[in-house]
Amino acid sequence: MPSPPPRSPRGSPPRPGSPPRSPDALVRAAGFRWVAGVDEAGCGPWAGPVVAAAVILRASSLPVRIDDSKRLTPAQRARAFQAILEHAEVGFGIVCAQEIDRENILRAAHAAMQHAVLDLPRVPDFILLDGRFPLSPPHPCWPIVRGDQRSYVIGCASIMAKVLRDGLMDFYHRLAPRYAFNRHKGYGTALHAERLRRLGPSVFHRRSFGPVAEAILHERRAQL
């Protein structure tokens, strides 16, 4: 079962009608110091890895806009990425398309988040996680649906995962330029669908995903 939110050892519950406290504030009020936010990017695309990031902030706020990465422009994400690197401890986890096909995307995303936490230079004493399911012990963990919109530190992790994954897709574009990975980042756009039908799947595609599997079947039928 998902871990419940921490109970504060001091202070009284918020008064009725008072503004809700953020998950970050609740966890810190409970006495946890090294709080890691964890999020992933790339569960839905037809190609490329799923990337997770874990972030422990050394400051309560940063001099840039922090939000769910999907709400930021590429330029805003780039500025935030650099600021987070300068003011936080960061770990990353990457699971490739082949492992996604072997394990399924949910297990792969969970593994990427576990790897990101292990990649941190410091062991967190609490984890705030975007999603429904906690990570494995020993870390106490609070999974939060839409956590990247509700928690500052999860928002930071969302940005780090998104920027790193987009950079990887730009690199894959240089290796396989006909697929235009730099434009759609592996997501199921009309452009990506057209290239997939015309070229067939690349080594970077997730062959267990429906549109890619259909392209493989079409390719085999054409060879008969």
Selected residue with higher pLDDT from 14 and 220: 220
The pTM (predicted TM-score) of the whole model is 0.88
pLDDT at residue number 70: 86
Which class would CATH give 23-163? Answer: alpha beta
pLDDT at residue number 123: 95
- Structural domain boundaries in the chain: 23-163
Under 8 Å between Cβ of 154 and 113: no
d(CA 199, CA 117): 37
pLDDT at residue number 4: 54
> What does the pLDDT look like over 194-207, one tens digit per residue?
999 999 999 999 99
> What does the pLDDT look like over 178-194, one tens digit per residue?
999 999 999 999 999 99
- Residue 33 CA, distance from chain mean position: 23
Strand, helix or coil at 151?
A: coil
pLDDT, averaged across the chain: 90
d(CA 35, CA 15): 25
d(CA 182, CA 173): 6
